[in-house]
């Protein structure tokens, strides 16, 4: 049975995720989940993003039990340790110096809950970003032009930050911005919601 008239809710306050989901040209609403996003002790980045994407979707699903809920969460990890959002210029400089000439992995968790069938799908998409060797001058110039203080890893791949990278290895370019649309489309098709 087709579900293309189902109510869809994106469990997120992110303007980036909202913009990405709108690319699929479907009607959706947004709702902000109220969950604790702290990492558990000994929880890997993969486990964290999958758990949080699910908890976000579940929090909104309890408010809209018949809707299709989309939850997503993302972290950047260096040496399997999570890089937080820098918050200010000094922290961003420190992060970029640390990852200069190295690679970080972006882990994006995705959950789709279909309230009408009570089916939950959770997955993760990983993206490897290899950085150029960055001089202090390059780092300072970048952050003056694009103060990416609210971005994990201190750079925006969809903006000027792309100039800091050597290579991005991924199966879904939208995952890097925070919502893997290829995987999401597959999950929606699994519950008979067809995008096209």
pLDDT digits (tens, 9 = 90+) for 7-42: 999 999 888 899 999 999 999 999 999 999 888 988
- The predicted-structure confidence for 91-102, as pLDDT tens digits, reads as follows 999 999 999 999
**Tell me, what CATH number does 148's domain have?**
3.90.950.10
| Band of pLDDT at residue 3, cut at 50, 70 and 90 | low
- The predicted-structure confidence for 67-120, as pLDDT tens digits, reads as follows 999 999 999 999 988 998 899 999 999 999 999 999 999 999 999 999 999 999
Number of folded domains in the chain?
1
Residue 114 annotated in active site: no
CB 122 within 8 A of CB 187: no
Does residue 1 belong to any structural domain of this protein?
no
- Confidence at residue 85, expressed as pLDDT on a 0 to 100 scale: 87
Does residue 184 belong to any structural domain of this protein?
yes
Q: Which residues of 116-140 are buried (b: 16+ CB within 10 A; e: fewer)?
A: eeeebbbbbbbbebebeebeeeebe
Q: How far is CA 13 from CA 75, 102, 158, 186, in A?
A: 16, 31, 19, 23
Does residue 2 belong to any structural domain of this protein?
no
Structural element, H or E, at residue 189: helix 181-190
Annotated catalytic residue: which of 34, 66, 73, 171? 73
Does residue 196 belong to any structural domain of this protein?
no
């Amino acid at each position: 049975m087709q579900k293309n008239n189902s109510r869809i809710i994106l469990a997120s306050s992110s303007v980036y995720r909202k913009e990405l989901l709108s690319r699929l040209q479907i009607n959706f609403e947004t709702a902000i989940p109220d969950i604790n996003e702290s990492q558990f002790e000994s929880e890997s980045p993969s486990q964290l993003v999958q758990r949080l994407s699910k908890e976000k979707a579940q929090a909104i699903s309890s408010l809209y039990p018949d809707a299709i809920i989309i939850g997503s969460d993302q972290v950047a990890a260096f040496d399997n340790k999570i890089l937080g959002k820098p918050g200010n210029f000094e922290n961003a400089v420190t992060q970029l110096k640390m990852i200069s000439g190295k690679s970080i992995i972006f882990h994006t968790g995705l959950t789709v809950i279909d309230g009408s069938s009570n089916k939950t799908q959770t997955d993760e998409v990983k993206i490897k970003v290899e950085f150029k060797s960055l001089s202090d001058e390059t780092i300072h110039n970048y952050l003056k032009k694009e103060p990416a203080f609210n971005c994990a890893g201190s750079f925006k791949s969809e903006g000027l930050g792309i100039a800091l990278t050597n290579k991005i290895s991924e199966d879904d370019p939208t995952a890097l911005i925070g919502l893997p649309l290829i995987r999401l489309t597959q999950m929606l098709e699994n519950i008979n919601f067809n995008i096209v």
